[in-house]
Amino acid sequence: MASTTMTMAKALNEGLRRAMEKNPKVLLMGEDIGRLGGVFRITDGLQKDFGEDRVIDAPLAESAIVGTAVGLAIRGYRTVCEIQFDGFVYPAFDQIVSQVAKLHKRSEGVYTMGLVIRIPFQGGIGAIEHHSESPESYFAQTAGLRVVSCATPNDAYWMIQQSVEHDDPIIFCEPKSRYWEKGEVDLEGAPRGLFEAEVRREGRDVTVIGYGSSVKTMLRAADTAELEGTSLEVIDARSVAPLDLDTMARSVQKTGRLVVVQEAPHTASIGSEIVAELTERCFYSLRAPGLRVSGYHVPYPPSRIEDDFRPSVDRILDAVDRTMGYDS
């Protein structure tokens, strides 16, 4: 079967299964990922099929999970660590930025850090504090780490396999609010490069760039804008460290206008970096300043008002109207 329809959660599960079938040194480690299959059931059935020595139920100690994965990487294993929720990654922060990101350079290439740290991130599920955060900027700023995010089931299926096979450590951000949405998955095709952006919709008036859960919101905004006579080009960044600035710049040079969308607060963020880089590269093509649509610079709010915090179709269209309002 060349293609099929599945949820993002199932696509991640199948991608992990395929990676484990191809390489017996691929291990999974995390809290409740074995018998339970993880809180989002991403690893459902994998311990039963591959055994407890390859799908390991770890104690509630993120620093120990990542630290153990570092040792395993030195010995040639490829460990996929699951962080149960985005806000739980901070106990492992020192291990990630001080060991995972630096051991390859510190050892002058003797050791590679072929490990993946999976983080369900962003909001939209009505969760409590520490369960709806966007920590990607912390890791993108750290030299030695790669940071990617899937937005579709097809990308989830292929990107998790590509990440497992990569010799650099990967922070793999999964938009938890999209886990249960279905999409077409090409099981046999050639995947896009892991660090390449993708134009999800072509347009002529404004370039709109985002990643993770924001991609679907941007596409909905593009549908609405089209009804009002404005054509949006929607780009899924897919990788936030490194950024595929060449793809983004080609679009901005065509449209002359830029809006970046993210759930994280705008200060010192991925959106800030995209606007700054594209302003440098495309200064003489821009007809208006680049704008950001983001979460606000406050702690993530209670679930009853999270929709006011997250970027919406209306907020994206407001930014589009503002950038279109500048004189040509």
Type of residue at 2: A
Domains observed in the chain: 3-186 (3.40.50.970), 198-324 (3.40.50.920)
pLDDT attached to residue 326: 87
Q: What is the mean pLDDT of residues 12-23?
A: 98
Residue (of 246, 238, 200) closest to 221 by Cα position: 200
Q: What is the mean pLDDT of residues 84-113?
A: 95
End-to-end CA separation in angstroms for the chain = 51
pLDDT band at residue 328 under the 50/70/90 scheme: low
Q: Which helix (H) or strand (E) holds 209?
A: strand 206-210
Convert the pLDDT of each residue in 181-220 to its tens digit: 999 999 988 899 999 999 999 999 999 999 999 999 999 9
Q: Rg of the Cα trace of the chain? A: 20
How far apart CA 126 and CA 305 sit, in angstroms, is: 9
**Number of neighbouring beta carbons within 10 Å of residue 210:** 31
Q: What is the mean pLDDT of residues 283-301?
A: 96
pLDDT band at residue 234 under the 50/70/90 scheme: very high
Question: Which residues belong to the active site?
Answer: 131
